[in-house]
Structure 1
Amino acid sequence: MVKIYTEHLFLTEDNRRIIFPLLFDMVYLPNNGTRSNFIFVDSLSEADVAIFPVDIVSFLKKDKSNFFHNWIAKMSQNKVPIWIYTAGDFGFTFKNENVLTFRMGGFNSKLPTNTSIMPSFVNDPYNKILKDDFFVLPKKKRPSIGFVGNANGSLFKFIKEFILYLKRVIINLGYRYPEDYHPFYPAGRKRYKLLYKLQKDKRIQSDFIFRDKYRARNENKEKTTLEFFKNIQDNLYTFCLRGNGNFSVRFYEALIMGRIPVLINTDVRLPLEDLIDWNKHCVIVLEDSIIQDLLNFHSSKTEFELEEIQTNNRKLVLERLNRVDYFVQISNKYLESK
Structure 2
Amino acid sequence: MTEDNRKIIFPLLFDMVYLPNNHTRSNFIFADSLSEADVAIFPVDIVSFLRKDKTNFFHNWIEKVSQNKMPIWIYAGGDFGFALKNENVLTFRLGGFNSKLAANTCILPCFINDPYDKILKNDFFVLPKKEKPNIGFVGNANGSYFKFIKELLLYIQKNVSNLGLKYPEDYHSFYPVGKKRHQLLYKIQKEKKIQSNFIFRDRYRARNENKEKTTIEFFKNIQDNLYTFCLRGNGNFSVRFYEALIMGRIPVLIDTDVRLPLSDKINWTKHCLIVSEDSIIQDLILFHTTKTEMELKQIQENNRKLVLEKLNRIDYFIQIANEKFKNK
TM-score range, shorter chain: over 0.9
Displacement of 1:276 in angstroms is: 0.4
Partners of 2:4 and 2:197 lie apart in 1 by: 42
1:170-319 superposed matches below 5 A: 170-217=160-207, 219-319=209-309
In the alignment, what sits opposite 1:22? 12
Q: Deviations over 1:212-235 (max 9, x none)?
A: 111054651000000000000000
Partners of 2:88 and 2:300 lie apart in 1 by: 38
Aligned to 1:107, which of 57, 77, 97?
97
1:69-80 superposed matches below 5 A: 69-80=59-70
Tell me if 1:119 matches 2:109. Answer: yes
SS of residue in 1 equivalent to 2:34:
coil
Structure 1 pair 31–216 and aligned structure 2 pair: CA distance change class (3 A): farther
Code of the residue aligned with 1:194 in structure 2: it is: L
Aligned to 2:140, which of 150, 155, 161?
150
Partners of 1:96 and 1:220 lie apart in 2 by: 46
Code of the residue aligned with 2:288 in structure 1: it is: H
Partners of 1:256 and 1:102 lie apart in 2 by: 21
The worse-fitting range, judged by mean Cα deviation, of 207-216 and 184-193 is: 207-216
Structure 1 pair 168–219 and aligned structure 2 pair: CA distance change class (3 A): farther
In the alignment, what sits opposite 2:125? 135
Displacement of 1:131 in angstroms is: 3.1
Displacement of 1:59 in angstroms is: 1.2
Partners of 1:200 and 1:219 lie apart in 2 by: 34
TM-score by length of 1: 0.95
Aligned to 1:168, which of 134, 158, 161?
158
Partners of 1:166 and 1:213 lie apart in 2 by: 20
SS of residue in 1 equivalent to 2:235:
coil
Partners of 2:63 and 2:279 lie apart in 1 by: 48
Aligned to 1:68, which of 55, 58, 67?
58
Q: Is the 8 A contact 1:105 1:247 kept in 2?
A: yes
In the alignment, what sits opposite 1:327? 317
Displacement of 1:158 in angstroms is: 0.7
Displacement of 1:337 in angstroms is: 2.1
Partners of 1:317 and 1:233 lie apart in 2 by: 16
1:36-51 superposed matches below 5 A: 36-51=26-41
**Structure 1 gap segments, 5+ residues each:** 1-10
Structure 1 pair 266–218 and aligned structure 2 pair: CA distance change class (3 A): farther
Partners of 2:237 and 2:109 lie apart in 1 by: 9
Q: Is the 8 A contact 1:218 1:224 kept in 2?
A: no
SS of residue in 2 equivalent to 1:274:
coil
Q: Deviations over 1:187-206 (max 9, x none)?
A: 01100000000000000000
**Structure 2 gap segments, 5+ residues each:** none
Partners of 1:230 and 1:14 lie apart in 2 by: 33
Displacement of 1:63 in angstroms is: 1.4
Displacement of 1:168 in angstroms is: 1.4
Displacement of 1:24 in angstroms is: 0.7
Partners of 2:70 and 2:153 lie apart in 1 by: 43
Q: Is the 8 A contact 1:280 1:309 kept in 2?
A: yes
Q: Deviations over 1:94-151 (max 9, x none)?
A: 1111110000000000010100000000010000211321000001110000000000
Code of the residue aligned with 1:290 in structure 2: it is: I
Computed over aligned residues only, the root mean square deviation of the Cα atoms, in angstroms, reads 1.0
SS of residue in 1 equivalent to 2:125:
coil
Partners of 1:174 and 1:307 lie apart in 2 by: 52
Q: Deviations over 1:252-305 (max 9, x none)?
A: 000000000000000000000001000000000000000011111111111000
Code of the residue aligned with 2:142 in structure 1: it is: N
Partners of 1:306 and 1:214 lie apart in 2 by: 28
Code of the residue aligned with 2:284 in structure 1: it is: L
TM-score by length of 2: 0.98
Partners of 1:73 and 1:296 lie apart in 2 by: 53
Code of the residue aligned with 1:267 in structure 2: it is: D
Identity %: 78
